[in-house]
Chain A
Amino acid sequence: MSPLWATSMIFFSLLLGSHGRPLYPLPSKQQHKEKKALQTSRPYNIAHRGSNGEIPEETAAAYMRAIEEGADFIESDILATKDGQLICFHDVTLDATTDIAKHAKFANRKRTYEVEGSNMTGYFVGKFSCISSTLFFLQVYLDFTLAELKSLGVKQRFSFRDQQYNGKFSIITFEEFIAIALDANRIVGIYPEIKDPVFINQRVKWANGKKFEDKFVETLQKYGYGGAYMSTEWLKQPVFIQSFAPTSLVYISNLTDSPKIFLIDDFDIRTQDTNQSFWEISSDSYLEYIANFVIGIGPWKDTIVPTKNNYLTTPTDLVDRAHAHNLQVHTYTFRNENSYLHFDFHQDPYAEYDYWINTIGVDGLFTDFTGSVHQYQEWAQASATNEASALGLLHKLALMISSFEGEE
């Protein structure tokens, strides 16, 4: 062999190597041709930020745990980084859920913003949006690139939850999130949110004049997501696209026919893009309008059934009216800890599920505790089936007979 030819061969094969080999399905994954279908006979178990009751939110591990525990959908918040990459992350600041404080090289990125008279200090991923007061548009730039964010460790947000995984997992990208769902050995849906689109579009520019929503939908379509709700295509790769911003949902309805969910915040919060109040966007006329673009709404639990002194008061008619407009209702967020449970449920998360599923009649539940919802639903289904079956009859008879056994 000529040394020149050999060198060229080696050189070219190295080049090929650096382009990456073509993706083919791994042999271990071949048997997943007939994946168990998505259940559609009972309200959806939506793993809110993954199984974050146990594992830090929006990490690969949290999502995989949720899939293990029986989630119908894994849910995520999609934001954009400084360099236009789509990631799974909820907050505008990095302080509550990452170990950013330990990274000395980022110390100079710490900012303080004054909002409605109070200062907020932290590391900003994106726009500051205060949860409990009216939204506020600030002149701030997105501060971190994807590579920088990947160097951080995610931690458990709530101090009363398990802290043992703190710093062990990274922030993941939208694509990685999708891969987790597609990689499962049964059909698992995804439920990504177009989060803070107004602000992101102000601060991040993509090539060819594309917007955040465009990149969002492109990513979904790249992985084969599409098809109207309950179509064959959709059932193979289920997805719900959610957002608090109605104009984003309207905008993407031209780009994809995937089902969309319109999120509704608390009574005193206005929509970030159209500045409309809760009362306006939950009115009959608005529901009639938005029903052309979305398949359901995602309201906060305590607006459907307001509470007083930690007890439920009379339910509003929001669910009934939504259903009358053929809109599903997926409510947030269900948590097991007693501090989140109203006294009517006597500290029992399953009593809460029972109420929302059987008394109020919602169509989906965003929960931090996927496993508990799943267990509840499995048991409820089992006892319902038994009532109609021979076994159920036998049990009924046994109970009838035993009531006479006390006679001696």
Chain B
Amino acid sequence: MNPFWATCLILSSLLEGTRGRVLYPLPSKEHKHKQPLQTSRPYNIAHRGSNGEIPEETTDAYKRAIEEGADFIETDILATKDGELICFHDVTLDDTTDIANHTEFSDRKRTYQVQGFNVTGFFVGKVRQRYPFRDQQYNGKFSIITFEEYIAIALDANRVVGIYPEIKNPVFINQHVKWPNGERFEDKFIELLQKYGYGGAYMSAKWLKKPVFIQSFAPTSLIYISNKMDSPKILLIDDFSMATQDTNQSYWEITSDSYFEYIREYVVGIGPWKDTIVPPLNNYLTAPSDLVYRAHAHNLQVHPYTYRNENSFLHFDFRQDPYEEYEYWIKTIGVDGLFTDFTGSLHRYQKCASGILR
């Protein structure tokens, strides 16, 4: 063999190698007949994965949630300094990562809230459990994941599992991160979903194959993407005292009948905070408001947040029993989905309460 030709061959195969091989489905993953999404009872939405057990928004938290029967795995999408979309909730890294251990980043500490890290920086930091009363044994074992990795987890499951990503802090992100061609955070968000084949109106055949809800506290973001994607959207609603970040509207305005009539053109439902639907007093429930009733009257679903097993989060009506809480919200109030930190418990409740096999 001509040495020159051999060298070229080796060189070009190396080049090929660095570009990555063509993606084909692995033989072990031939899931043609995946068990479909259940649509006969309220959705079990794994809030940040099964974060009651495993640090939030990590691969393991999501896989545990899928194991435990989640209908949807939920996440918050933020953007890094270099424009990558990642799964992370807080604006700061302190509560849920070991950033304090990384002296190389100590100069990035600020007195105001900023996301100033690039992708490499995040991956170096490890995630830890937010609450001290939850299991700490996985602290420092998992990394922050990207939006794409999160999608891969859902698509990789052996049954149909939906995703529920949030366009988080879009106003702030669009101020601080710039993408080429004048694209915005919302555009990149949609592009990624479409890249992986998400699309289709709620309950369409296409949607049922890859279920998704897009959520946000910012109504303009949802309206903006509704031109580009017909996937179902959910308007999140914060506490009584919080105004929307983009339109500066009050709780009372965005929960009024006229607003519901307006926003229903763009969203299929709302995601309110539990204690605004049924306000508590001295840790007991008071009379429920008519929010759910009115939302339903406008054909809007209601997915309240967040359900947690720990007794400090349970009002006394439920006698420290998370199943009593599920029973109340599903049977008495009649919600359409529940954001929970304890996917397994909600799944068990739904199985048991409907009398189906365990």
Contact = CB atoms under 8 A, between A and B. Distances in A.
Do these two chains interact?
Answer: yes
Interface of A: 51, 53-54, 160-162, 164, 309-310, 336-339, 343, 346-351, 369, 371-372, 375, 379-380, 382-383, 386-387, 391-392, 395-396, 402-408
A90 to B, nearest CB: 20
Nearest to B320: A336
A350 B342 contact: no
A392 B357 contact: yes
Contacts of A309: 137
Chain A CB within 10 Å — which of B209, B323, B351 has the most? B323
Contact of A407 (B33, B135, B137): B33
Contacts of A348: 309, 322, 342, 344-345, 348
Interface of B: 32-36, 50, 52-53, 133-135, 137, 160, 205, 208-209, 282-283, 309-312, 316, 319-324, 342, 344-345, 348, 351-353, 355-358
B311 A160 contact: yes
30 contacts: A51-B319, A309-B137, A336-B319, A338-B309, A338-B312, A346-B50, A346-B52, A346-B309, A346-B344, A347-B52, A348-B344, A350-B348, A351-B345, A369-B319, A369-B320, A371-B321, A372-B321, A372-B324, A380-B352, A380-B358, A383-B352, A383-B357, A383-B358, A386-B357, A387-B357, A395-B356, A396-B357, A402-B35, A407-B33, A408-B205
Contacts of B33: 403-404, 406-407
B352 A338 contact: no
B355 A372 contact: no
B355 A383 contact: yes
A382 B320 CA distance: 23
A341 B24 CA distance: 45
What 7 A-B pairs have minimum CB-CB distances, sorted nearest first? A379-B352, A336-B320, A347-B309, A338-B310, A337-B311, A406-B36, A348-B345
Contacts of A391: 355
Chain A CB within 10 Å — which of B208, B282, B309, B320 has the most? B320
Contacts of B309: 338, 346-348
Contacts of A351: 344-345, 348
Contacts of A346: 50, 52-53, 309, 342, 344-345
Given A54-B319, A338-B133, A346-B345, A395 B52 contact: no
A372 B358 contact: no
Contacts of B344: 346, 348, 351
A187 B87 CA distance: 56
A391 B345 CA distance: 24
Contacts of A383: 351-352, 355-358
Contacts of B209: 406, 408
A379 B205 CA distance: 35
Contacts of B35: 402-403, 406
A137 B353 CA distance: 52
Chain B CB within 10 Å — which of A375, A380, A406, A407 has the most? A406
A131 to B, nearest CB: 23
Given A346-B342, A383-B352, 16 more contacts: A164-B282, A338-B309, A343-B135, A346-B344, A347-B345, A348-B344, A351-B348, A369-B319, A375-B323, A375-B324, A380-B358, A403-B35, A403-B36, A404-B33, A406-B35, A408-B205
A53 B316 CA distance: 10
A372 B319 contact: yes
Contacts of A339: 133
Contacts of A164: 282
Nearest to B64: A346
B358 A347 contact: no
A369 to B, nearest CB: 6
Nearest to B206: A408
B303 to A, nearest CB: 22
Contacts of A392: 357
A386 B345 CA distance: 21
A317 to B, nearest CB: 27
Contacts of A53: 319-320
Contacts of B358: 380, 383
Contacts of A310: 135
Nearest to B327: A375
Contact of B321 (A336, A379, A395, A408): A336
Given A346-B344, A350-B348, A392-B357, A338 B311 contact: yes
B357 A349 contact: no
Contacts of A336: 311, 319-321
Nearest to B38: A402
A383 B354 CA distance: 9
Given A346-B309, A379-B353, A371 B36 contact: no
Contacts of B208: 406
B47 to A, nearest CB: 14
